[in-house]
Amino acid sequence: MQLKGQLEFLSKGNLAILEYFEKKRAIADSLSESLYFVKDDGFISFVLNGLDSLYGIFKAAFNMRSGHITPAELFRLLQEGERLAEELRSITINTQFGYAPSHAM
């Protein structure tokens, strides 16, 4: 029950996506060693529920999709989202100080 609670309530917080996802996966793996198997769709729900409000648009778009997705595919999408957010932060900081990225010209 303790592991299930950790899987359910672990939030991303300040963790990088990779670290967050690996922690969730490690907990799910520990549960399966105890013969409590977490199906892919359940694992995906646990991952999405632990994301903060910055991922609100991502979660809404994800919930509107059709078809099946694997945890590995979700991870790749989250990584890409994190990369795009970092790029946006970099552009915002650079333009505040009068610099424009070379691809923006």
Structure tokens at 2: 């303790």
The one-letter code for the residue type at 56 is: G
Does residue 8 have a pLDDT over 80? yes
Instruction: Report CA-CA distances (Å) from 43 to 11, 27, 30, 38, 72.
Output: 13, 10, 13, 6, 11
The secondary element (H helix, E strand) that includes residue 47 is helix 40-49
Whole-prediction pTM: 0.77
pLDDT digits (tens, 9 = 90+) for 9-66: 999 999 999 999 999 999 999 999 988 899 999 999 999 999 988 888 888 888 888 8
Lowest mean pLDDT among 24-33, 45-54, 67-76, 83-92: 83-92
Contact assessment for residue 28 and residue 67, using Cβ atoms and an 8 Å cutoff:
no
The one-letter code for the residue type at 41 is: D
